[in-house]
Structure 1
């Protein structure tokens, strides 16, 4: 009996550009998740307008299935300084149609490798995650993020864990 191997989908990340911008704007999460992530219709233009922000698409076999933004000024993430060169990660999400398939962890791994390549002086990535957002907390832990012991209280939906992960060398 021969075993069928299912090809692993290709997960990559890329800066949002004109070629994929319209498709990225069609992405979204459930109404319950908006408290934690926000809406792409606001997040993408804000990332495009902010100096030091990089709007990023998560691609599955070349098609956008998610979004996040990178902040080169990590203080904007948790209102704190970091001892090593650190990048900020915010607004990370997988479109609701693609959730629950293990793509989030793979997307975070792809993002971390991309950041290590494009930002060679950076050593860590910081993010905040709402205390009530158990699925996101589990995802970030699976991807190697660890709580710093601090809480960020500036979020619109309540207290957030501050999490840090070293970039791959």
Structure 2
């Protein structure tokens, strides 16, 4: 019998912060995700941002940020109550094991509990990030056909997924 790893998510609070600061990405991913120290500092300085850790057991293996105002992703409002997902990544030492898909499933479950009135989750993914785009599509995100051109590394696809109710 196959045992799936215990993948869960938790807010980056004081007890997790130092371990989260040790997370790294592959050099080739730098165009898509900035350094974790910058990501945390930005999230902690923005109202409505929730810095989150992806955990395998009690070990941080990744990071993401939830935006309670999805407008900040693409500069426009959404029809339904929508959250934003930003800066999602799995540490380079943990990549290639299916943890990205498991982490997204954990995120959906967490959002249903912590943000029960939200109906959708939106994100942008760089048009050159084929791996990320494939992961998000497998997780049920739909490409809206809209490109966001405000990113530092070129155009990004806007993807949206309905959240469980």
Q: TM-score range by the shorter chain?
A: over 0.9
Report the structure number with the largest CA radius of gyration.
1
Offset of 1:10 from its aligned partner?
A: 0.3
How far apart, CA to CA, are the structure 2 residues paired with 1:61 and 1:6? Answer: 17
Count matched residues.
165
* Correspondence 1:70 to 2:89: no
Q: CA deviation digits over 1:94-152, x for unaligned, max 9?
A: 00000010000110010011011101110000000000000000110111111011000
* Correspondence 1:83 to 2:74: no
Offset of 1:6 from its aligned partner?
A: 4.1
How far apart, CA to CA, are the structure 1 residues paired with 2:104 and 2:26? Answer: 20
- Calculate the TM-score normalised by the size of structure 2: 0.98
Gaps of 5+ in 2: none
Aligned equivalent of 1:92:
88
- Calculate the TM-score normalised by the size of structure 1: 0.96
Gaps of 5+ in 1: none
Aligned equivalent of 1:166:
162
How far apart, CA to CA, are the structure 2 residues paired with 1:7 and 1:111? Answer: 20
Q: CA RMSD, aligned part only?
A: 0.8
Offset of 1:7 from its aligned partner?
A: 2.4
